[in-house]
Structure 1
Amino acid sequence: MSPQLGAHEVMEIHEVLSDTVDGINQFELYRPHVQDPQLANILDHQIQFMNQEYNQMVQALGQMAPLQGRPSKAFQSSQRSAPVYGVDNPGTTAPNPSGQQLSDRDIASGMLGCAKSSANLRMLASLECADPQIRRMLTQGAVNCGDQAYETFQYMNQRGYYQVPTMPQNTANAMLGMYQPASPDNQVPMQ
């Protein structure tokens, strides 16, 4: 890492580290309320990864040596399922009047929102960093959060908590078929 960081870098890193602590704390609060063993495994796996990633960031930032050769670890999902498309009798939902009792759907939805928000924050933070190693660490962190979000989405999708609406195939084909490859005349030659 560079011996000197820009003000934007320091503030963005501070925000990312604070967000990471908040996410770990939020997930720990969910833990006693989980009923489904599969969701408990996902939650535990993500808490463990978040703690490791947090410690890696703190350690990397505490050392005034280059981060080269020590790439951020990539998140490995424990879920492997194809998404279910379509809407099938979606249940109703409303705010939970009691924080004393959370459903697995509530917990998974909170986990998903946390991961999505953290992915956005990390990617935006990376765009403010001049140091290339910190920038890579933050972009990998954004990808990791995206992968955590997808793992949680897969769980929710399997249980019907997060259904994926579709549109008629001819409408999808018409919308996506509007785009054609750029013609060679529009391309700038590489030098």
Structure 2
Amino acid sequence: MQNQQEPMHQNMHTGAVPQQLNHGGHEVFDVHEVLSGSIGTLNQYMMLRQHIKDPELRDILDRQYQFIQDEYTSTVECFQTGKDPSKPTQSYKMNQGNDFVYGLTPSQPKKPMQSMAEISDEFISGAMLAACKSSASHKTMAALETTNPVVRRVLADSVPNCIEMAYELSIYQNKHHYYQVPQLAQQDMIQMVNSYAPAQGMPQTSNTNMGMNMKH
């Protein structure tokens, strides 16, 4: 029994672990959550696509679907092999500007749908936005728990892409008045914006403790 356990004990201390098994326990669980979440997002996008009415939203969904699918495949590949994915990580680029309309206008209170007939572009874009935000959180947490350097980098590279896709969807929603952005009163905003000053120079070290040590 001791002879069977000895090689494993040596691997734990020498790092002689096969490259494809170079993963910590927390990492394995968290990457599973990320991959399951990516599958859920892709399935959700696929189901929602048939209900889209706006061609612009359909274009956003198609571009994001393909990008998410490629990232999912790359993550699976490096997770299983421990090596760089065959396709390098990419940066997602949205096609629209980044102008937001600020302020609130009167609108009908939101409530749960009562039938499938109520599925709208507002609901679909909101569901997509929620999926992207969730993915950004899951990948950030997974990257912070990951010991495999390749998987960590692939996850970390993906987080800005999730943020960019979420931003693209929030801009789309804002443009169509689905997502309104309130602002503080101008005086309050100016005070908040200017409530911090830049840091300057290096901190000054005190010689008090040094002098005390010398006396002893």
Q: Same fold, TM exceeding 0.5?
A: yes
Shift of 1:117: 0.7
- Which residue matches 1:76? 93
The alignment partner of 2:93 has SS state of coil
SS at match of 1:23: helix
Q: Quick one: distance in 2 between partners of 1:171 and 1:37?
A: 40
2:36 pairs with 1:18: yes
Given that 1:126 and 1:138 are in contact with CA atoms closer than 8 Å, whether structure 2 keeps it comes out as yes
Counterpart Cα distance in 2 of 1:64 and 1:107? 36
| Other-structure match for 2:59 | 41
Secondary structure at 2:116 match in 1: coil
- Once the two structures are superposed, residues 22-46 of structure 1 have per-residue CA deviations (whole angstroms, 9 ceiling, x without a partner) of 0000111111110111111111111
Q: Does 1:178 align with 2:199?
A: no
Instruction: For CA contacts below 8 A with separation 6 or more, give which structure has more relative contact order.
Output: 1
Paired residues of 1:16 and 1:125 also in contact (CA < 8 A) = yes
Matches within 5 A, 1:1-191: 2-3=19-20, 4-65=22-83, 67=84, 71-184=88-201, 186=203
Q: Superposition RMSD on alpha carbons, in Å?
A: 2.1
TM-score, with length taken from structure 2: 0.79
Distance 1:36 1:88, change over 3 A: same
Larger radius of gyration: 2
Percent identity at matched positions? 35
Q: How many residues align?
A: 187
Check the 8 A contact 2:143/2:156 in 1, yes or no: yes
The whole-number CA distance in structure 1 between the counterparts of 2:97 and 2:153 is 27
Q: TM-score, normalised by structure 1?
A: 0.89
* 1:81 to 1:183, Cα distance in 2 relative to 1, 3 A: closer
Q: Report the Cα offset of residue 12 of structure 1.
A: 1.1
User: Matched residues in 2 for 1:171 and 1:64: separation?
Assistant: 51
Deviations 1:2-27 (A, max 9, x none): 44211111111111000000000011
Between Structure 1 and Structure 2, which shows a larger proportion of helix residues?
A: 2
User: Structure 1: any 5+ residue segments left out of the alignment?
Assistant: none
- Structure 1 residue 166: deviation in Å? 0.7
